[in-house]
Chain A
């Protein structure tokens, strides 16, 4: 019989007894983390339903629910089922991928700045996409491939340049900033040589946009997410120990380098698939883990809350980006930077005041 014990004021231990040759599992769960995750999920759901019912073609909420459940009119099926539903789902799914990826990177580099945006992946993806758009005039698929190739090459370059008897977090970030800046200047150069129209198209893509995305983009992302998340969540306890420092981790018997490499690999896969689907969306990977950490009050980076926070942030940002200046739509990436930045600054301010 499953037993839930309250061992302290803030932690629960769930014991799942041995049954049918499955090993017994004992999970220690922090009440506060559970509460925070639940609240974020509820908030996400609310925003999700809102996203399904607003738009240039307004559909009342009850019609939305009717469509989801039993089909509705052909028109609402088109608008809700084919256009808004996949986009909202993608918003959540990509946000989850980015949030989790950011958490992994920040844990590995033991530095709040260690996110894929900062260490050059996003800028490299932007360069790859720009080259495809401005030099080869490619379409969606080619741009996606260009973005992933650019990002991966940059990640490899940064890793190789930062490697000196192992990876030290601070050095990785500095090298990433350096490579990022070189690529950013290449991007500036490419953009100034293009037509104004091309440049604006590239700018829209480069900010990360969910506009026009549908089920064809959703399924691959979802599939990869369903593989990567359990793996990373399983790594979570080990990652927390690694954050204490390599020596402590080694002493505790965790195969440090192997786990680190696996987590890094899956982290890159998550951010690569997100960039391939929607272009480089900035700042979710950086901000979501920080916000989640402060909300759950945990001392180290928490994977699941980060992922859920990322999902909520991206979904909300996309909704605001679509509606704030309707019918002109802004790319979601512009919104994530602004909103995420505001909240980040606010948090830093609050942290300051509590001296």
Chain B
């Protein structure tokens, strides 16, 4: 039996609500309609051919408006002197970036977030070159972006391979010279540190990061994004007692707080992640004050150091070397 429930109130209220909601959010747009300039016009007709992960692409010899569409790309561009006109939205993570990076974040337009590219915003930025890496930009997205402007997407030997990708990007914007000179500086500085601090580096080290429970932590392995810096580049010795890495080489593994002593007592020097100001994350700050951690040999001898290690290019890599020397190597050689 059909109930004769009044139709109008049931429909009116939700429909009005829906239209209000939709209308309000639609009116939240504050960009103007696109101007007459189309992406096809280039002021200069000089182009170069660049080899990318998705084939050869013709790029302007001197790009004026570069848009970065992947996570590390803006810093890789900035390291060779190119300021992007638009990049991803990092405002939510702002504290984990250095002061210069934060300035760039604050003043640049955004085109969406990690893995959530807003193609219309890219168009609205009127680029003449779009730069990114394969992790976030698959072939279908590449095709889309190519219709806006020449798009160069690069691939490294492994995920987050900033050395190779940074080099390819520098080449694409015509700044290979600057890239190579920064790289040479890095290598030179690295050798200097290795020679000067051989003893310190020969002592057993452990690198830890955030854990998945309070009081817990993760151990960072050689080959991982941070572990590679300490153990492969710098050449620190890995402490005994750190369990074997499980298959898959993520580069890190969670450890239960109960195993703090078992895993970390073999390390004389412990480095943890930190923000550019040197402050530990809340989770790590809690971990290093637990009774078990405080009883470790490294903690007792005051050899636990927080180091900012978000390296994305040779420029930040040089800064990292400086930080490591002042924060870790000098104090450690004194103890």
Contact = CB atoms under 8 A, between A and B. Distances in A.
> Do chains A and B stick together as partners?
yes
B118 A343 contact: no
B34 A140 contact: no
B121 A327 contact: yes
Interface string A262-306: 000000000000000000000000000000001101110000000
Contact of B120 (A57, A316, A324): A57
A195 B250 contact: yes
Contacts of A200: 114-115
A192 B19 CA distance: 39
Interface in A28-57: 30, 32, 35-36, 39, 43, 46-47, 50, 54-57
Nearest to B123: A57
27 contacts: A10-B2, A32-B2, A32-B7, A36-B11, A54-B29, A56-B31, A56-B118, A56-B120, A56-B123, A56-B124, A57-B120, A57-B123, A75-B34, A75-B123, A78-B147, A204-B116, A295-B7, A298-B2, A316-B22, A319-B25, A320-B21, A326-B28, A327-B111, A327-B118, A328-B110, A328-B116, A328-B118
B18 interface: yes
A22 B119 CA distance: 51
Contact of B29 (A43, A192, A323, A329): A323
Nearest to B113: A328
A79 interface: yes
Nearest to A76: B34
Interface in B242-275: 250, 254
Contact of B22 (A10, A78, A201, A320): A320
Given A78-B147, A83-B144, 16 more contacts: A10-B2, A36-B7, A43-B15, A56-B120, A79-B123, A197-B114, A200-B115, A212-B140, A214-B140, A216-B140, A294-B10, A295-B10, A299-B3, A323-B29, A326-B28, A327-B111
B89 A192 contact: no
A83 B147 CA distance: 11
Interface residues of B, number: 49
B276 interface: no
The 10 closest A-B pairs by CB, nearest first: A323-B25, A56-B120, A56-B121, A54-B26, A57-B120, A201-B115, A327-B121, A55-B120, A57-B124, A324-B25
Contacts of A67: none
A60 interface: yes
B7 A297 contact: yes
A303 B3 CA distance: 18
Contacts of A83: 119-120, 144
A74 B22 CA distance: 28
Interface string B9-20: 011001100110
B112 A323 contact: no
Interface in B104-135: 110-121, 123-124
B45 interface: no
Given A140-B138, A316-B22, A320-B22, A329 B118 contact: yes
